Amino acid sequence: MSDQMRLFGDVVGHQRVLELLAREVAAPANAYLFVGAAGVGKATVARRFSALLLCPEAGGHTGECRSCRRVMSAAHPDLIEPDARQGLGVDQARSTIHQASLSPVEAARKVFLFDDAGTMTDQAANALLKTLEEPTATSVFVLVAEFEEQLPTTVASRCRTIHFGRVGEPMLVSALVERGVEEAQARVVAGLAGGRPGLAFSLLHSDAASAFRQQWLAVPSRASSRPGESFRLAAEMLATVEPLLEDAGEELPKDERMRRRGRLALLSAGLELVASWYLDAAAVQLGGPIRNKDVPLAMLTSVTPGDAVTRAERTLDAAVDLEANLRPQLLLADLFADLALD
């Protein structure tokens, strides 16, 4: 493990990406675009990468030096993070362009870290184009977004795009076990998190995780076309999220916006469990591998492969609609009524 890799020590997975970045530190490109699903660790890696770029120590990167500590707490004068909470508008882009023309304060370069680059307006993105392409020699841009398509192609073309996939389940389990989590719990949490270490860590200390999984996996056999029952089931499923949120309380900031995000992430994790149940049902009847090995076979085979496929699709669609600010209970009730076999 090289010195550069040491600062990445606490990142779960993404070995390929980390190796690449560690090599880039000596001669960074002018702009990077990190893309990947929420919670896979893009922001974590982006911050550590910024620390490496700004660190005055040539070797021994442990994140212990003053510079690295300040990067981690977002207090380094040469780390500029435009506030994306209200979206990134053209004014912020202009002030970034201005800052990019200044010399670094103490480090060898300035790093511009855009955590929610996807929220950038088209005008802001266009305004940044020239600066992204040919910034001063001492500026490095790091943009973080969920998909490349959130930004105009002209921006992506000027950045070195780095893809963050989901972390493999075995890798996530062993990472959790290394951090002192019991293996059984690690498996449950990793299965829930769907390759998103961020979500896995916030669920770690929860006793409710296993119950959460069981409850969601029972949905396919409980779904009913009677509206009253699907409403009751929806209410019950919504309630499964609360104990996990309570347990994750210390990790999640009190901020209402973050709590809402946490709730949505858990609900979509639950819906992905339901979808994986249906996929298992189709896979087992077609001779494929299954992932929820504790579901009785007789139950999986009670759905025909065709029905299972349409229901899995329907469930995944619902997981996306969740983000669109619908009332989750209505959405779930509608979904559960559609899932019913009778």
Partner 1 sequence: MESIGTLGGILNLWGPAQLGCGRRAVASGAVEYQALYRKYRPQTFEDVIGQSHVTSTLAREVAEGHVAHAYLFAGPRGTGKTTTARILAKALNCENRAADGSPDNICPSCVAITEGHSLDVMEMDAASHNSVDDIREMRISVTTVASASGARRVFILDEAHMLSKAAGNALLKTLEEPPDGVHFVLATTEPYKLLDTIRSRSQRFDFHTISIESLAAHLGRISDLEGYRSDAVALTAVARHALGSARDALSLLEQVAALGNGVVDPTGVNRALGLADGDAFATLVDAIDAQDAKSALELVARLASEGADLRRFVSEAVGFFRGVFLAHYAPNLAEIADEPAEVLHAWNQASERLPASDVLRAVDIMGESLIKLREGREERLMLELAMIKLTRPETSSDPAALQARLDRLERRVSANPPESRDPGPEVRSAPEPVVTTPAERSPVDPPFDPPPAFVDESPERPMELVEAAAPLDAGEPEARSRVEPTFAQFEAAWPALFAGLRDLLGARRWALFRETEPAAVEGSTLVIGVKHDFHLRALVADDSTAKIVATRAGDLLGGDVAVAFRATDGEAAPVAAEPEVPCGP
What CA–CA distance (Å, rounded) separates 290 from 296? 12
Whichever of 189 and 282 has its CB closer to partner 1, that residue is 282
Whichever of 83 and 313 has its CB closer to partner 1, that residue is 313
Whichever of 222 and 259 has its CB closer to partner 1, that residue is 222
Provide the mask over 71-100, with x wherever binding to partner 1 is found by CB under 8 A and - wherever it is not: -------------------x--xx--x---
* Footprint on residues 98-137 left by partner 1 (CB under 8 A): 104, 106-108, 123, 126-131, 133-134, 137
Q: Which of 81, 146, 251, 338 binds partner 1 (CB under 8 A)?
A: 146
Torsion sign over Cα 313, 318, 319, 324: positive
Does residue number 298 form part of the binding site for partner 1 (CB under 8 A)?
yes
Contacts with 296 (C-beta within 8 Å, 6 or more apart), sequence order:
none
* Footprint on residues 165-204 left by partner 1 (CB under 8 A): 165-166, 168, 170, 194-195
What CA–CA distance (Å, rounded) separates 168 from 13? 8
Write down the residue that tokens 């981690």 correspond to.
72
Give the nearest distance from C-beta 127 to partner 1 in angstroms. 4
Buried-state track 125-164, b at ≥16 Cβ within 10 A, e below 16: bebbeebbeebeeebbbbbbbbeeebbeeebbebbbbbeb
CA distances (Å), origin 138, targets 22, 74, 262: 18, 19, 37
Whichever of 215 and 310 has its CB closer to partner 1, that residue is 310
Give the nearest distance from C-beta 249 to partner 1 in angstroms. 26
Is residue 61 helix, strand or coil? Answer: coil
Whichever of 139 and 206 has its CB closer to partner 1, that residue is 139
| Binding segment toward partner 1, per CB under 8 A, in 22-30, 172-180, 200-208, 330-338 | 22-30
Write down the residue that tokens 């700004």 correspond to.
54
Give the nearest distance from C-beta 133 to partner 1 in angstroms. 8
Give the nearest distance from C-beta 164 to partner 1 in angstroms. 9
Burial-class residue 30 by CB neighbours within 10 Å (0-12, 13-18, 19+).
middle
